[in-house]
Amino acid sequence: MKPIELNYGRLIDDFQPGDVYFHPWEVTLDDGLLAMFAASFLDPNRLYSSRPYARALGFRDRVVNPLVLINLTIGYSVHDVSEQALAHLAYIDVRFPNPAYTGDTLRARSTVLGARLSESRPDRGVVHVRTEGLNQDDLPVIVFERKALIPSGKLQKSAHQEKARSGSTITAAVAEDPSNPVVPSELKNCDCASTRSGSLRGFFEDFEVGDVIFHQNGRTIGESEHMQLTMLSRNSHPLHFDEIYSKEHSIAKTRLVCGPLVFAWIVSLASRDTTARALWQVSFDNGSHPAPVFSGDTLFAASRVIDKRAHSDQVGLIKFKLVGLKNVFPSQIAGSNVDPFEERFEQKVFETERTVLVPTRD
Q: What is the DSSP letter of 105?
A: E
Whether 168 is in a domain gets the answer no
User: What is the spatial distance between Cα 324 and Cα 299, in angstroms, rounded to a whole number?
Assistant: 7
User: What is the spatial distance between Cα 268 and Cα 46, in angstroms, rounded to a whole number?
Assistant: 13
Q: Whole-prediction pTM value?
A: 0.93
Whether 160 is in a domain gets the answer no
Residues 79-97: pLDDT tens digits? 999 989 988 999 999 999 9
Q: Percentage of the chain surpassing pLDDT 90?
A: 75
Mean pLDDT for 338-352 is 95
Task: Please count the structural domains in the chain.
Answer: 1
Q: What is the pLDDT of residue 163?
A: 62
Q: What is the pLDDT of residue 175?
A: 47
User: What is the spatial distance between Cα 116 and Cα 89, in angstroms, rounded to a whole number?
Assistant: 14
Least confident of 70-74, 88-92, 333-337, 342-346: 333-337
- Tell me, what CATH number does 225's domain have? 3.10.129.10
For residue 111, what are the CA distances in angstroms to 23, 91, 146, 225? 11, 15, 11, 31
Whether 256 is in a domain gets the answer yes
Whether 169 is in a domain gets the answer no
Whether 170 is in a domain gets the answer no
Whether 308 is in a domain gets the answer yes
Q: Are 132 and 106 in contact (CB under 8 A)?
A: no
Please report the beta strands in 186-245, taking only residues with DSSP state E, as ranges in sequence order.
212-214, 219-220
Mean pLDDT for 36-40 is 94
User: What is the spatial distance between Cα 268 and Cα 252, in angstroms, rounded to a whole number?
Assistant: 26
User: What is the spatial distance between Cα 124 and Cα 79, in angstroms, rounded to a whole number?
Assistant: 19
Range of the domain at 64: 12-155+190-359
Whether 38 is in a domain gets the answer yes
User: What is the spatial distance between Cα 263 and Cα 256, in angstroms, rounded to a whole number?
Assistant: 14
Residues 191-200: pLDDT tens digits? 777 777 777 8
Q: What is the pLDDT of residue 177?
A: 55
Q: What is the pLDDT of residue 335?
A: 83
Given a cut of 50, whether residue 158 has pLDDT beyond it is yes
Residue 75 has phi, psi (to 5 degrees) of -60, -45
Q: What is the pLDDT of residue 172?
A: 44
User: What is the spatial distance between Cα 345 and Cα 336, in angstroms, rounded to a whole number?
Assistant: 12
Residue 5 has phi, psi (to 5 degrees) of -120, 120
Whether 174 is in a domain gets the answer no
Residues 246-287: pLDDT tens digits? 999 888 899 999 999 999 999 999 999 999 999 999 999 999
Closest CA to 239 of 151, 351, 111, 337: 151
